[in-house]
Amino acid sequence: MSLLVVGLSHRSAPVSVLERASLNADAQNKLLQDTVAAEPAAEAAVLATCNRIELYADVDKFHAGVAELSTLLAQHSGVGLEELTPHLYVHYEDRAVHHLFSVACGLDSMVVGEGQILGQIKDSLARAQELHTAGRLLNDLFQQALRVGKRAHSETGIDRAGQSLVTFGLEQLARGADVRAWAGGKKALVIGAGSMSSLAAATLARAGVAEVVIANRTFDRAERLARTLTEGDDTGVRARAVPMESVAAELTRADIAVSCTGATGLVLTAEAVAAAVADRTGQPVAEIADDRRTAAPAQGAPASVTAGGDEGCPLDLSAVQPGFSVMGEAAVAGLDAAALEQHAAWVAGGAVDRREAARRGPEADAELIGALAATAASAGRVPELRRPEPVAEAPRPRPVLFLLDLAMPRDVDAAVHRLAGVRLVDIESLAEASADAPMAADVDQVRRIVSDEVAAFGAAQRAAHITPTVVALRTMAADVVASEIARLEGRLPGLDDKHRAEITQTVKRVVDKLLHAPTVRVKQLAAEPGGAGYADALRTLFDLDPETVASVSRAEDSTDKNRGPA
């Protein structure tokens, strides 16, 4: 087994990189075809979701495989290899199996325990099977991953640890309030009719919205989804389909909008959202500070640092106490005279652009810091500091439109975060919110399941590796029996059918008994770690034709590679 996975996810890359590296259906197909056409890879499968892009392959060389798969991911994603490489992770053989099984169980998801990933793994396998890029290894791997994921959800309470990305997104929109109470009676617009959009529509219906409107580029799919909602469970929700051209008009009536399409460009621009809100409120929409950036600062980070304002600053800003400005006297907590002098020179050079600098001027700060540096040099410490008065943040208007963007790349312009009267939750917001989400105790049990299943899969693969050799050995034995029976018939031409059949059966039984114990034992030994050499030993001991063994392997691989969707 030479399984290799190269990929990136929300755990290894910022959302901005994931967004740019996302692959549409055509790009995934081309990536698969180019991967199996490359020299190191014999099989390939792509797992592409809203928060991960992973390329799986059966390779004959590790280093060449890593280089080739990384290059292919960069070429097809459009992100340069130098920029992409720091965000890539690589798993090989058993570690690659462990990674996929963990993904299938929801352990590596943005929302731990979510079950949507199982459908995405099944789709990935079906795509590879349809394009005939999945052979024995990837067919076995992905089908076993689906079984492991289902086992984890049925035998443990991992479902309690997490939820679907849709549910988690709605909880973020509701800001911790009960989703049913928050959504009850609202009108919802769902843009897209794929699997994620369908889940969003069903979740909204169960949450008690009064109406769900489905917009999709293929109107028939929107109609089918609307009909399913209307005729489905006892939600009593009204559902109707509209063409994509009606999104702008429907946005003026909706309270909640969820978008998850495969579009490569924006579906909802900031201007379109502002126009919809203005139409509802009768007031122009103002831009305010992005509420994701006005939250309490992380421990050790200065509260008043603005984006880009500290570029080139010689200070170690992690040493600055929370709540202090990085300007003036508050910047120097715990710093020595040399660092203070460097900071004074930096401030004097006009390298900052902050509200306090605009009020006092960088020269005043430079003078103050210089004086503090002199004091620190003579007294050995910085004088007691005064905590600056907190700056009151302007209250954000109550939202009249809630937007949930689950697409990658994004459907909704990020500038919408700054619009008054709108609350937007997107993949980036969900990644930030999920970082602190609690994990259930059942996660440990799922991890044990994954470890057991990885060991079992590895043993099965190692045992399967010796199967062609065992088949070739038994084929050789059968040929020897047939040859000897034919020679006996030449020497005893008067042998009747009854005696010939009895002799033939006796010889076959002798051969089978002689081969049974060695072949069973060699399979057991081959299944153990380090057992790959037993196949070579068997071929050497019985002088088996390598081409016969290879032909059995090719026949098995051909059968698996042409297997239909699972």
Per-position pLDDT tens, the chain of length 566: 589 999 999 889 888 888 889 898 899 999 999 999 988 899 999 999 888 999 999 998 899 999 999 999 999 998 999 999 999 999 999 999 999 999 999 888 887 777 789 999 999 999 999 999 999 899 999 999 999 999 998 998 777 655 678 888 898 999 878 999 999 999 999 999 988 888 899 999 999 999 999 999 999 999 999 998 888 666 778 999 999 999 999 999 999 999 999 888 899 999 999 999 998 888 888 777 665 544 333 333 333 333 344 556 665 555 544 444 444 444 444 555 566 566 666 656 654 444 444 444 545 556 656 666 665 566 555 444 444 555 555 566 788 999 999 988 889 999 999 898 999 999 888 877 776 555 556 788 899 999 999 988 988 877 777 777 778 788 888 888 888 888 888 888 888 888 888 888 898 889 888 888 877 777 777 766 666 677 777 777 777 776 666 665 555 555 555 555 44
Closest-CA residue to 244 (of 187, 190, 202, 186): 190
Measured distance CA(227)–CA(497) in Å, rounded: 70
* Active-site amino acid positions: 50
List of long-range contacts for 178-186, beta carbons under 8 Å, 24+ apart: 179/207, 180/207, 180/208, 183/207, 183/208, 183/209, 183/256, 184/208, 184/209, 185/209, 185/210, 186/210, 186/255, 186/256
**Confidence (pTM):** 0.61
Residue 195 assigned ligand-binding role: yes
Residue 483 assigned ligand-binding role: no
Contact present, 2 and 93 (Cβ < 8 Å): yes
Q: Considering Cα of 524, then 125, then 50, then 163, what sign does the dihedral take?
A: negative
- Residues counted in the chain: 566
Residue 120 assigned ligand-binding role: yes
Closest-CA residue to 454 (of 55, 114, 144): 144
Residue 109 assigned ligand-binding role: yes
Closest-CA residue to 373 (of 424, 331, 408, 311): 331
- The pLDDT value recorded for residue 536 is 73
Q: How many other C-beta atoms can be found within 10 angstroms of the C-beta atom of residue 287?
A: 12
Contact present, 322 and 339 (Cβ < 8 Å): no
Residue 51 assigned ligand-binding role: yes
- The pLDDT value recorded for residue 296 is 36
Residue 192 assigned ligand-binding role: yes
* Angle ∠(318,323,324) on CA atoms, nearest 5: 70
Residue where the block lists tokens 């084929």: 475
Residue 194 assigned ligand-binding role: yes
- The pLDDT value recorded for residue 325 is 46
Residue 50 assigned ligand-binding role: yes
Tokens of 309: 């304002």
Measure Cα distances from 197 to 57, 407, 529 in Å: 30, 10, 45
